[in-house]
């Protein structure tokens, strides 16, 4: 993961955890998967819904080898935003049998995560 993403996420970790932990229910810590840079075995096809507030996505990976789970975050590139990123929360995810790292997911824009730049 690139250094600026690590810094951004470190600065906003409490905010992300509070916003998406869900109605005070304890849950494991969310993983953050950076999909700004695509490569073989680490790619995503993004389909915006409701003007980008929600989305569906199909992808491969992630590069870290950790499977994407509901409640995790995907960081996508967005050159139109001030921060250059678009964070999305995974609301559901299913993995294909073949290849086993291919997934389809439903996403929700995470407006509570903002850049301090």
Each residue's pLDDT tens digit, 48-93: 999 889 999 999 988 888 899 999 999 998 888 878 889 999 999 9
Domain contains 117: no
* pTM of the predicted structure, to 2 decimals: 0.71
Q: What's the Cα-to-Cα distance from 116 to each of 30, 64, 77, rounded to whole Å?
A: 21, 26, 17
3-state secondary structure of 34: strand
Domain contains 114: no
State the pLDDT at residue 22.
Answer: 42
State the pLDDT at residue 16.
Answer: 53
The H-or-E segment that residue 81 falls in is none
The rounded percent of the chain whose pLDDT value lies above 70 is: 71
Counting the structural domains of the chain, the total is 1
State the pLDDT at residue 6.
Answer: 66
Nearest to 103 by CA among 57, 47, 40: 57
The average confidence (pLDDT) of the chain is 80
Nearest to 1 by CA among 48, 30, 35: 35
Taking residues 35-59, report their average pLDDT.
93
Domain contains 65: yes
Domain contains 101: yes
State the pLDDT at residue 79.
Answer: 81
Domain contains 115: no
Range(s) of the domain holding residue 49? 3-20+31-109
Domain contains 15: yes
State the pLDDT at residue 108.
Answer: 95
Domain contains 26: no
State the pLDDT at residue 116.
Answer: 29
The H-or-E segment that residue 16 falls in is helix 3-20
State the pLDDT at residue 2.
Answer: 61
């Amino acid at each position: 993961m690139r250094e600026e993403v690590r810094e951004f996420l470190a600065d906003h970790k409490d905010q992300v955890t509070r916003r998406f932990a869900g109605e005070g229910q304890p849950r494991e810590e969310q993983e953050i998967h950076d999909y700004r840079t695509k490569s073989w075995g680490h790619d995503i096809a993004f389909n915006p819904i409701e003007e980008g507030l929600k989305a569906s996505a199909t992808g491969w990976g992630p590069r870290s080898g950790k499977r994407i789970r509901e409640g995790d975050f995907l960081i996508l590139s967005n050159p139109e935003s001030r921060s250059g990123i678009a964070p999305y929360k995974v609301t559901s995810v299913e993995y294909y049998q073949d290849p086993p790292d291919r997934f389809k997911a439903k996403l929700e824009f995470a407006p509570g995560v903002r850049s301090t730049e």
